[in-house]
Structure 1
Amino acid sequence: MQCPLLYRFRVIDKLPEKPSEAATRGTLVHAVLERLFDAPAVDRTAPRAKALIPGQWDRLLESKPELTELFEGDPEGERLAGWLGEAERLVERWFSLEDPTRLEPAERELFVETELDSGLRLRGVIDRIDVAPTGEVRIVDYKTGKAPRPEYAEGALFQMKFYALVIWRLKKVVPRRLQLVYLGSGDVLTYDPVPADLERVERKLLALWEAIRLATETGEWRPRPTKLCGWCDHRSVCPEFGGTPPVYPLSVRPAESVEGVQGRMEPVRPEAGQPVALEGP
């Protein structure tokens, strides 16, 4: 959790968040790259991919009408045109990083879920899974932003190791390669995991879940200020910015009454508003 209080606002309080241009563009580009593989290999060209953008944008608007708020006050459509143009550039850049005419994904936008021995459920959506004729598995994730500096690469790879752990537990196969494709900067980050890596991730997730369980039961969700706070929708209710969080919607147990059960891992009781699983970042 980058910010425990933000986790509470999103998962427990379920406070609404405004759509952002960057996140919505990412959703659009993901949809285009997914749909491109519906075409025969020879037809998977950059012009065809860019031609998919208007239709996928219309579908996105149909499913999420609130996205029209993004371009209010743009009667001439100039901002929208620039935004769609950036989506085109991201899609076109992908062709310099991968050759879709040589790829036949086994899965696209695959929802995965598994339960660990502890009872903790893990779930997420994987952009693409490739399977070699030899059976080796590659997990691919598209990012429309720029690649992180080397010292921050581990944080980005944690998401991929999370997915690898889910696949390992589900299929009993450790993925051969994890691949992050950064369309914003034109970089590809790869990592070849081993079982020990995924076992460490599992231990980290169990520790994280224990912290979530304790915070859920005590109501103690502390803010963790970072430079990302400037983009947070919930500053008005965050103590770091002089705000007051909404009334905690769950029953609370004093911290001392929880200490006796900290040693065992169990799913949080599925009461209204309580989290019952960890989702991929």
Structure 2
Amino acid sequence: MTTSSGAVPGAADAEGAAGAAADITVGGGADAAAVRAAVAPSSLSPSRASDFMRCPLLYRFRVIDKLPEKPSAAATRGTLVHAVLERLFDHPAAERTAPAAKALIPGQWERLLESKPELAELFPEGDEGAGLAQWLTEAEALVDRWFTLEDPTRLEPVEREFFVETELESGLRLRGIIDRVDVAPTGEVRIVDYKTGKAPRPEYAEGALFQMKFYALVVWRLKQVVPRRLQLVYLGSGEVLTYDPVVEDLERVERKLHALWEAIREATESGDWRPRPTKLCGWCDHQAVCPEFGGTPPAYPLMITPRPGGASQGWPAEDS
């Protein structure tokens, strides 16, 4: 992997359509309604794959139980900055300037509020707007920094916020959204992802690249083209991390995803979702229902398939 501070060649087009998982129904009454609303996982994205690797129980809470989570100022700022950088490319090349990008921030923030009114709760009402003003200033700083890392007047993305989906020969469906896809005049593909945090230390770089290799695998399987470059643009620290994948890389990722999906399938059928305590637990919204914090997960909303030779390995009943 290399670290650079300038633009490099560019990335491709892919196609995808969202699929729907079948409802699971049993019995009647309120419990049955909950079961009908729940569906077994039917596809894998980079974020959900990372959730399972971080903590299987977190994956269950997000994918199967769909427990609500409070919006965070940092994540929302990332969404805002992504929207601004996407919309900037609607402008002619010569007009893609830092002032033009920052001028997009208020409008994109209003759009976010319209779609998610609860985001207004991120900022206290009693500070006369000081918290929101500071937050928007921080977003402006991230947008400003991007112009020190890439030159948008020299870029013509083929795709932005691009939904991709493919089904592997095994039947595993992979899906995700790529921030930007560039294609060089020579046909070389570059996949770009914006990060509003800081670049990881070298020993954690492989984990950061997992998402990009996932996208590269999807593009390869869709278009039979191995992306020439994967690029992570870290606006928080002003660094650009790049990696040039080869087929062997993507084959390894594919094997890893198959193993991961098998583990998810087994947990889905058995109801056995184990918590995996880490330092990140302190940031989790689900401590109240996590056994590691003395909580009890909600009743499992899917049908449990007993394992051969004994009962399932799901959470024990309260009276056991």
TM, length-normalised to structure 1? 0.90
What is the CA deviation profile of residues 177-205 of structure 1, one whole-angstrom value per residue up to 9, with x for unaligned ones? Answer: 00000000001110000001000000000
Q: Does 1:29 align with 2:81?
A: yes
User: 2: CA distance between counterparts of 1:131 and 1:82?
Assistant: 37
Which amino acid in structure 1 is aligned with residue 136 of structure 2? L
1:42 corresponds in structure 2 to 94
SS in 1 for 2:308: helix
| Residues 88-103 of structure 1 aligned to structure 2 (within 5 Å) | 88-103=140-155
Which whole-Å CA distance do the structure 2 matches of 1:4 and 1:224 have between them? 7
What SS does structure 2 have at the residue aligned with 1:112? Answer: strand
CA positional deviation for 1:252: 1.1
| CA deviation after TM superposition for structure 1 residue 257, in Å | 6.2
Structure 1, unmatched stretches of 5+, are 259-281
Question: What SS does the corresponding residue of 1:95 show, helix, strand or coil?
Answer: helix
Paired amino acid for 1:219: G
Please name the residue that 1:68 is paired with: 120
Partner amino acid, structure 2, of 1:249 = P
The whole-number CA distance in structure 2 between the counterparts of 1:17 and 1:72 is 19
Identity of aligned residues (%): 83
Aligned position for 2:3: none
Shift of the alpha carbon at 1:217? 0.5
Q: How does 1:99-178 map to 2 (within 5 A)?
A: 99-178=151-230
CA distance in 1, matches of 2:94, 2:215: 30
Runs of 4+ in 1 over 6 A off after TM superposition: none
- Per-residue CA deviation, residues 21-53 of structure 1 (Å, 9 max, x unaligned), is 011000000000000001111111111101100
Question: Aligned residue for 2:287?
Answer: 235
Cα separation, partners in 2 of 1:118 and 1:222, compared to 1, 3 Å: same
Cα–Cα, structure 1 residues 231 and 170, in superposed 2: closer, same or farther, change >3 Å? same
Structure 2 portions without partners, runs of 5+: 1-51, 311-320
Letter in 2 for 1:179: Q
Aligned-partner residue type, residue 181 of structure 1: V
Q: Which residue matches 2:109?
A: 57
Q: Distance in 2 between matches of 1:74 and 1:138?
A: 46
Residue identity in the other structure for 1:81: A
Which structure has more relative contact order (CA 8 Å, sep 6+)? It is 2
Q: In the alignment, what sits opposite 2:299?
A: 247
SS in 2 for 1:245: coil
Counterparts of 2:158 and 2:249, CA distance in 1: 24
Aligned ranges 1:253-268 → 2 under 5 Å: 253-256=305-308
Q: Encode CA deviations 1:107-144: one digit per residue, 9 max, x unaligned.
A: 00000000000001000000000000110000000000
Root-mean-square deviation (CA), in Å?
1.1
Per-residue deviation at 1:227?
Answer: 1.2
In 2: Cα distance, 1:210 partner to 1:105 partner: 36
Amino acid at match of 1:159: Q
C-alpha spacing 1:51/1:74, structure 2 compared with 1 (3 Å): farther
Quickly say closer, same or farther: Cα 1:202–1:74, change in 2 above 3 A. Answer: farther
Q: CA deviation at 1:74?
A: 4.0
> How much does 1:66 deviate?
1.4
